[in-house]
Structure 1
Amino acid sequence: MRGRTSVPTWLAGLVGAVALVAAWWVFSATVFQPPPGTTFTPVPSPLVVAQTLVSDGLAPYWTVFQVTITEALVGFAWGNAIALLLAATVLLAPRIEPVVMQIAVVSYCLPVVAVGGIAIVVLGGAERPGDPSSTAIFLAALAVFFTTVVGALLGFKSADRASLDVVHVYGGSRFTQLRKVRLVAATPAILNALQIAVPSAFLGAVLGEYMGGIDRGVGITLIRLQGELDSPRVWAVFLLTAAVALIGYGVVGLLSRLATPWVAGRSTA
């Protein structure tokens, strides 16, 4: 019996993108037509959005995205660093695992609007015009915390028991087990969690900008464009936001494959 022929990842992504654009085009031409007596189109066609991007150029958008990308990167670094530190601490002190997991679950379930409202009061926004927002950085860090804690803990616990016993027999401590066995076993899971955290961090930064306290960024730009009923540019920002998130996701995925070739190159019989 012949084995099934797998579809290349790039081809599946291309087919999905074409299907989404086609559905977008159909809905913009049918369901989301301008209301009678107005020229405002809530969902412009892909061609209109593409023409807007070409006519504007990427330079005006880059000045907007530069701030949000900075916020997302800083929040990504802080949130993942704290998550990995807590996950490693659980392996050294197993009794605190319920506390760490409760913190992770609570951070995941907190309503973003409420947390953002408190954060903008406590942390504030940007110190100077054009600076990143402290609230956006905080929400970006919060958005990645749960995923990385859970992924790291599952990875650490997947370590081979025989290897852990060997380290223990030779007098190795829990820290030695963590450093020589658990960290290697957890690397694929940690990298997968970091890959998933990339778009989450960017989304958290955008939501943080919606809280205010900043004069430049994706969130505040969307608010301004929506107030001006400039739907082509709103959708242009949407597309660029998706592109930035996908690029970050792909870069971390590539680094993951390079860092764990034994996983990327593994084949099944």
Structure 2
Amino acid sequence: MTTQAVGRFRRPQVGGVLLPLFAFVLILAAWYAAVRVWDVPTSVVPSPELALEVIVGSRAEYLIDQSLFTLFEVWLGFAIAIVIGVLLALSLAGSRVLDQAISPILVAFNAIPKIAIGPMLVMWFGFGYEPKVLVVVLLSFFPIVLSTMAGLKSVPADLIELTQSMDASKLKTFLKVRVPWALPQFFTGLKLGISLAFVGAVVGEFIGGGGDGIGYVIASSRSQLNTPLAFAGIFLLGLMSVLSYYLIVWAERLLLPWARETSR
């Protein structure tokens, strides 16, 4: 590999790290300046250093425990959503009858506000982690199944006909052509779904209570007028969401390098 090729390979990687980091520093600087210039009370908006003191200070262990609990809810629900979403997308894309019968139901169910279902889940499953995980599944499921279905259906007809002209069976065409073609769309659904998974976990913790999770930390600190703790929870929630998102981006680049090249 030439030096020029190495440079072309590394530049996007460096930019992909430095640009978000630079934007984050700008946001922190604007936050700090706004608090200082307008002398905003701590009870309204704390300064960044106060929120940082909460994260690394006496509440550090407590916040780590609550963050891990939320991560458990998110990734358990997200894994369930992936399995159900992929299986359903494969079934609908492989059967026109199933697609025509179930797709309208999916669209209608997706239009229902999931927050409205949360209290019923608490009534059915109690105040444990189960209703929160189910809210995660409900919110992250639809981007996965819809994106995967769109990818499976977007294969050019000429490519399908070419494959079948070489005596490939419908099953082989589906597995060797349609599924690989749909993988970039599948990862798009994952990247959309993981952000909604964190929203679902926090919504579930707001509604379900139970005393665990970053959502509970934010809700309880609000009632206690402990704004620095609330902002610390919001910061950790955003950090976990960003890291999870880029974990999926990394997996996509590792597993689908050809998709990244063709998108340039």
Which TM bucket (shorter chain)?
A: 0.7 to 0.9
Q: 1:237 to 1:101 in 2, by over 3 A?
A: same
Q: Which residue of 1 aligns with 2:26?
A: 19
Residue of structure 1 in register with 2:127 after alignment: 125
Task: Provide the residue aligned with 1:148 in structure 2.
Answer: 144
The one of 47, 61, 64 equivalent to 1:62 is 64
C-alpha spacing 1:214/1:263, structure 2 compared with 1 (3 Å): same
Give runs of ≥4 in structure 1 deviating > 6 Å.
Answer: none
- Aligned residue number for residue 8 of structure 2: none
Q: Name which of structure 1's ranges 114-123 and 97-106 shifts more when overlaid on structure 2.
A: 97-106
Whether contact under 8 Å (2:78, 2:197) holds in the other structure is yes
Alignment of 1:200-215 (within 5 A): 200-215=196-211
- Answer whether contact 2:77 2:197 (CA < 8 A) is retained: yes
Match of 1:225 in 2: 221
RMSD across aligned C-alpha pairs, in angstroms? 2.3
Q: Is the contact between residue 86 and residue 144 of structure 2 (CA under 8 Å) also seen in structure 1?
A: yes
Normalising by structure 1, what TM-score? 0.85
Deviation at 1:230, TM superposition (A): 0.9
Query: C-alpha displacement at 1:254, in angstroms?
Result: 0.2
2:91 — aligned with what? 89
Conserved? CA contact 1:120–1:135, under 8 Å? yes
Partner of 2:75: 73
Q: How many residues align?
A: 253
| AA in 1 matched with 2:121 | A
Deviations 1:31-56 (A, max 9, x none): 5723xxxxx52110112111222223
Structure 2 residue 175 is the aligned partner of structure 1 residue 179? yes
Is the contact made by 1:24 and 1:45 (CA closer than 8 Å) also made in structure 2? Answer: yes
Change (3 A) 1:146 1:58: same
Q: Could you tell me which runs of 5 or more consecutive residues in structure 2 were left unpaired when the two chains were aligned.
A: 1-10
- What amino acid is the match of 1:60? Y
Q: Give distance in 1, aligned partners of 2:34 and 2:241.
A: 24
Deviation, 1:99, is 4.0
Deviations 1:33-88 (A, max 9, x none): 23xxxxx5211011211122222364221211122111111110111221111111
Q: 1:195 aligns with which of 187, 191, 195?
A: 191
**2:16 pairs with 1:9:** yes
Q: Distance in 2 between matches of 1:47 and 1:162?
A: 59
Q: Which position in structure 2 is the counterpart of 1:101?
A: 103
Which of the two has greater helix per residue? 2
Q: Deviations over 1:108-140 (max 9, x none)?
A: 3222331101111122231xxxxxx11111110
Instruction: Give the Cα–Cα distance (whole angstroms) in 2 for the partners of residues 198 and 53 of structure 1.
Output: 24
Unaligned stretches of 5+ residues in structure 1? 35-39, 127-132
Give identity over the alignment, percent. Answer: 25
1:83–1:145 contact (8 Å) kept in structure 2 = yes
Give 1:196 shift. Answer: 2.1
Matching residue of 1:241: 237
Indicate conservation of the 8 Å contact 2:119/2:208, yes or no.
no
